[in-house]
Amino acid sequence: MSIAWQFYISSILVYLGVDVMACWGLNLQFGVTGIMNFAYIVFQAAGAYTAAILTLGPSSRSLFQHYIGGANLPFPIPIIAAGAVGALLSLVVGTFTLRRLRVDYQAMVMLIVSLIAINVATNQVDLVNGSAGLSLVPKPLSQVLNLDLVNYQWFYVALTAVVCVIVFLFVHQVTRSPLGRTLRAIRDNEHSAAALGKNVTRFRLLAFVLGGAIAGVSGAILVEFIGTWAPGSWTYAETFVLFTAIIVGGTGNNLGVAVGALLVPVVFLEATRFLPPIGYPGLIDALQWVAVGLLALLFLWRWPRGVIPERRRRFRKPAPG
Amino acid sequence: MAAGCIPAVNLINQAGGVLGHKLECVVADTRGDPADAVPAASQLLATQSNLVGILGPSSDEADATAPIFNDSKMTMMGDTGAASFDQNAYPYFWRLTPADDVKGTAMAIWGRQKGFSHAAAVFGNDIGSQTDVPTLVKAFTKLGGTIVSNESLALDQGDYRTEVARMLATNPDVLFIEADAQTEATFLANLKDLHGLIPVIGTSLDQAMYQAVGGAIGAQNMHDFYTTIRPLIGSLGTSTKTYDQALLASGSQVPKPDQWISDPFCPAHYDEVNLLALSMIAANSTTPSTYNSYIPQVANPGSGKTLVYSFDEGQKALAAGKQIQYVGASGFIDFNKFNNSTTGFEAFQFQLDGSTVSLGTIPIDEITQANS
| Domain B2-99+254-326: homologous superfamily in CATH | Response regulator (3.40.50.2300)
Q: Please, what is the Cα angle at B108 between B102 and B112, to 5 degrees? A: 150
Instruction: Check residues B156 and B92 and name the one with the higher pLDDT.
Output: B92
Residue A270 Cα distances to A207, A273, A284, angstroms: 31, 6, 11
| Portions of chain B given CATH number 3.40.50.2300 | 2-99+254-326, 100-233+345-371
What is the overall mean pLDDT for chain A? 91
Q: Which domain holds residue A299?
A: 236-310
A87 and A133 together in one domain = yes
Q: Going edge to edge, which strands form the sheet with B356-362? A: B146-153, B118-124, B174-178, B200-202, B226-231, B345-350, B356-362
**Over 70: is that where the pLDDT of B181 sits?**
yes
Query: Pick from A180, A206, A234: which residue ends a domain?
Result: A234
A195 and A52 together in one domain = yes
Tell which of B33, B59, B70 to mutate to test the A interface (max A CBs under 10 Å): B33
| Yes or no, beta carbons of A135 and B64 under 8 Å apart | yes
| Yes or no, beta carbons of B34 and A2 under 8 Å apart | no
**Over 60: is that where the pLDDT of A216 sits?**
yes
A76 and A216 together in one domain = yes
How high is the pLDDT of residue B52?
95
Q: Going edge to edge, which strands form the sheet with B93-94? A: B54-58, B76-79, B93-94
In a domain, A292, yes or no: yes
Instruction: Check residues B347 and B30 and name the one with the higher pLDDT.
Output: B347
Q: Identify which of B39, B82, B83 has the shortest CB distance to residue A15.
A: B39
| Yes or no, beta carbons of B39 and A230 under 8 Å apart | no
**Over 70: is that where the pLDDT of B237 sits?**
no
- Binned at pLDDT 50, 70 and 90, residue B59 comes out as confident
**Over 60: is that where the pLDDT of A91 sits?**
yes
Q: Identify which of A130, A233, A281 has the shortest CB distance to residue B33.
A: A233
Residue B100 Cα distances to A103, A282, B95, B210, angstroms: 46, 24, 12, 21
Instruction: Check residues A298 and B365 and name the one with the higher pLDDT.
Output: A298
How high is the pLDDT of residue B106?
94
| Yes or no, beta carbons of A11 and B101 under 8 Å apart | no
Least confidently predicted of A120-134, A172-186, B247-261: B247-261
Query: Pick from A211, A234, A257: which residue ends a domain?
Result: A234
What is the overall mean pLDDT for chain B? 89
Give B282-328 pLDDT, tens digit per residue. 999 999 999 999 999 999 999 999 999 999 999 999 999 999 999 88
Tell which of B25, B27, B30, B38 to mutate to test the A interface (max A CBs under 10 Å): B38
Q: What is the nearest CA distance from A284 to chain B, expressed in angstroms?
A: 9
**Interval B271-282 mean pLDDT:** 96
Chain B interface includes A152 (CB < 8 A): no
Tell which of B43, B90, B93, B137 to mutate to test the A interface (max A CBs under 10 Å): B43
**Over 80: is that where the pLDDT of A60 sits?**
no
Residue A87 Cα distances to A25, A111, A218, A287, B56, angstroms: 11, 18, 12, 34, 38
In a domain, A295, yes or no: yes
Q: Mention every residue, 6+ apart, whose C-beta is less than 8 A from residue A300.
A: A247
How high is the pLDDT of residue A281?
58
Chain B interface includes A135 (CB < 8 A): yes
Among candidate residues A313, A117, A289, the one with its CA nearest the CA of residue A212: A117
Name chain B contacts of A226, Cβ cutoff 8 Å: 34-35, 38, 64
The interface predicted TM-score (ipTM) is 0.84
A156 and A87 together in one domain = yes
**Interval A161-188 mean pLDDT:** 96
- Binned at pLDDT 50, 70 and 90, residue A279 comes out as low
A152 and A175 together in one domain = yes
**Over 60: is that where the pLDDT of B25 sits?**
yes
How high is the pLDDT of residue B60?
75
A14 and A144 together in one domain = yes
Name chain B contacts of A274, Cβ cutoff 8 Å: 43, 47
Q: Identify which of A2, A135, A273 has the shortest CB distance to residue B63.
A: A135
| Yes or no, beta carbons of A284 and B39 under 8 Å apart | no
A149 and A230 together in one domain = yes
Instruction: Check residues B204 and A24 and name the one with the higher pLDDT.
Output: A24
How high is the pLDDT of residue B97?
80
Instruction: Check residues A133 and A88 and name the one with the higher pLDDT.
Output: A88
In 10 A of CB B316, how many CB atoms? 15
How high is the pLDDT of residue B102?
86
Q: What is the number of structural domains in chain A? A: 2
A158 and A204 together in one domain = yes
| Yes or no, beta carbons of B125 and A123 under 8 Å apart | yes
Q: What is the nearest CA distance from B127 to chain A, expressed in angstroms?
A: 5
Instruction: Check residues A320 and A206 and name the one with the higher pLDDT.
Output: A206
Q: Name the range with the highest mean pLDDT among B48-57, B94-103, B167-176.
A: B167-176
How high is the pLDDT of residue B306?
94
| Yes or no, beta carbons of B45 and A12 under 8 Å apart | no
| Yes or no, beta carbons of A132 and B130 under 8 Å apart | yes
How high is the pLDDT of residue B234?
56
Q: Is A293 helix (H, G, I), strand (E, B) or coil?
A: helix
Share of chain A above pLDDT 70, in %: 98
> Do the Cβ atoms of B347 and B360 come closer than 8 Å?
yes
Q: What is the 3-state secondary structure (H, E, C) of chain B?
A: CHHHHHHHHHHHHHCCCECCECCCCCCCCCCCCHHHHHHHHHHHHHHCCCCCCEEEEECCCHHHHHHHHHHCCCCEEEECCCHHHCCCCCCCEEECCCCHHHHHHHHHHHHHHCCCCEEEEEEECCHHHHCCHHHHHHHHHHCCCEEEEEEEECCCCCCCHHHHHHHHCCCCCEEEEECCHHHHHHHHHHHHHHCCCCCEEECCCCHHHHHHHHHHHCHHHHHHHEEEEEECCCCCCCHHHHHHHHHHHCCCCCCCHHHHCCCCHHHHHHHHHHHHHHHHHHHCCCCHHHHHHHHHHHHCCCCCCEEECCHHHHHHHHHCCCCEEECECCECCCECCCCEECCCEEEEEECCCCCEEEEEEECHHHHHHHHC
- Binned at pLDDT 50, 70 and 90, residue B171 comes out as very high
**Interval A62-91 mean pLDDT:** 92
A257 and A202 together in one domain = no
CATH assignment of B100-233+345-371, among 3.30.565.10, 3.30.70.141, 3.40.50.2300, 3.40.47.10: 3.40.50.2300
Share of chain B above pLDDT 90, in %: 56
**Over 90: is that where the pLDDT of A273 sits?**
no
How high is the pLDDT of residue B220?
94
In a domain, A177, yes or no: yes
Query: Pick from A234, A259, A276: which residue ends a domain?
Result: A234
How high is the pLDDT of residue B89?
92
Give B103-118 pLDDT, tens digit per residue. 899 999 999 999 999 9
| Yes or no, beta carbons of A130 and B43 under 8 Å apart | no
| Yes or no, beta carbons of B45 and A7 under 8 Å apart | yes
Q: What is the nearest CA distance from A226 to chain B, expressed in angstroms?
A: 6
**Interval B35-44 mean pLDDT:** 88
Among candidate residues A36, A210, A59, A179, the one with its CA nearest the CA of residue A129: A59
A56 and A172 together in one domain = yes
**Over 70: is that where the pLDDT of B86 sits?**
yes
**Interval B121-127 mean pLDDT:** 87
A222 and A159 together in one domain = yes
How high is the pLDDT of residue B271?
94
In a domain, A26, yes or no: yes
> Do the Cβ atoms of A16 and A268 come closer than 8 Å?
no
- Binned at pLDDT 50, 70 and 90, residue A146 comes out as confident
A158 and A292 together in one domain = no
How high is the pLDDT of residue B167?
95
How high is the pLDDT of residue A288?
82
**Over 60: is that where the pLDDT of B243 sits?**
yes
In a domain, A257, yes or no: yes
**Over 90: is that where the pLDDT of B90 sits?**
yes
